Structure 1
């Protein structure tokens, strides 16, 4: 029997309009963020090679203070789409025993290691892997998987083939990585483990919840954030991007209002008695 999704209503946190969101003290290449009483620093050497995290990604950090989130001390975690290492840094700072940073972008590994060391953390507890998610085969299952997948729809007119594209854009109407996560999760996550996801309303949140619920996962919404659609990197293609998103909205696969959308910090838990995949 399929477990029913857990519905928890959270007050929406509205971030002010403009290129500098309220969650960062500075950007686009260096910023300070607070996490569980710690002030951590994140830098990106070349923002065109590795995207400096937007408020979409940082929203999940803000949500991790909820009591519902499992203890992070001593865990073995996988950071999917690690980028600059935002989540890897936060998890190691919170006491994770080991973190694997997975990203398709080769530049991510060096940037993640640099940010771990900048914050005085033990880089020997970090493993960086350059691989597409679909081709990644772990040697063990993880206690926690954390991710902020790309969520803007792909179009050949603004294809860049660089770090920005891998961080922001995905095929299948922006859902490609979400779909891969659903398919791979039983392989990645140990029974009783937790998936933490910053899920964009531009990429069909109900479908992801439905697909993981059908696999026996329990879902919980930690927090909802409203913010600007991240179009700065695609300013000259704004109309094309919004046109594609409007098509997705008309088909019931996206929710947004003008240039504002929401990011849901979601937590999925795999049943402790699940069969190993």
Structure 2
């Protein structure tokens, strides 16, 4: 899929591709309601729209929202793109499928919230600044039989994510995983991550996982 990506907007990468593969395997009825939260360029939102879903895309970046609208228009697809912080714009709605590729890279403390483009990857000292919010706030948005597909790094504790979603009553498992070479952000933080015990001296790849959590009917 050819996409335009405005400066400062998260461009599709390995995590996007892995989540897109999980989306392709997901049964999705025509007219199903899909939420793509932290949409970035809108790659996943457009993939769902191509399958006939009614898609809402949310991002905290106004440039990302503009990017999604532009890409949807160029592709001739209908996607409702809204600006807001995570689930705030859709808190009164429910969905058949929620897609999430949130920030998950552990980041050295700065004493302030991530800003600018870094909002797409910086996620606090343990990488769970947004992940824990998703585990808490996504389950009520799922319709009976609805599912959450969430991608993040194993460095951010996939077991904790699985446990939190199971505790919320969802049937949860890791369904996809892939080892990928470090990108620029990870390479820049290797020393700090080693000091934290999250990497060894030999590590030069990162494991990405997709977690699927389904609300029972």
**TM-score, normalized by the shorter chain, greater than 0.5:** yes
Q: 2:122 aligns with which of 145, 165, 169?
A: 169
Bigger CA radius of gyration:
1
SS for the counterpart of 2:2 is strand
Distance 1:149 1:249, change over 3 A: farther
The count of aligned residue pairs is 216
1:185 aligns with 2:185: no
Contact 1:202 1:245 in 2 (8 A): no
Deviation at 1:243, TM superposition (A): 3.4
Aligned: 1:225 with 2:178:
yes
Cα gap change, 1:211 to 1:257, in 2 (>3 Å): farther
The Cα RMSD (Å) is: 2.5
Q: Distance in 2 between matches of 1:43 and 1:81?
A: 17
Residue 37 of structure 2: aligned partner: 80
SS in 1 for 2:138: helix
The residue that corresponds to 1:58 in the other structure is 17
Structure 2 residue aligned with 1:27: none
Cα distance in 2 for partners of 1:129, 1:256 equals 42
Note the residue ranges of structure 1 that are not aligned, 5 or more in a row.
1-39, 273-277
Q: How do residues 1-277 of structure 1 correspond to structure 2 at under 5 angstroms?
A: 40-46=1-7, 49-66=8-25, 69-96=26-53, 98-121=54-77, 123=78, 126-133=79-86, 135-155=88-108, 156=110, 161-163=115-117, 165-230=118-183, 232-233=184-185, 238=188, 241-249=189-197, 258-272=203-217
Q: Runs of 5+ in structure 2 lacking a partner?
A: none
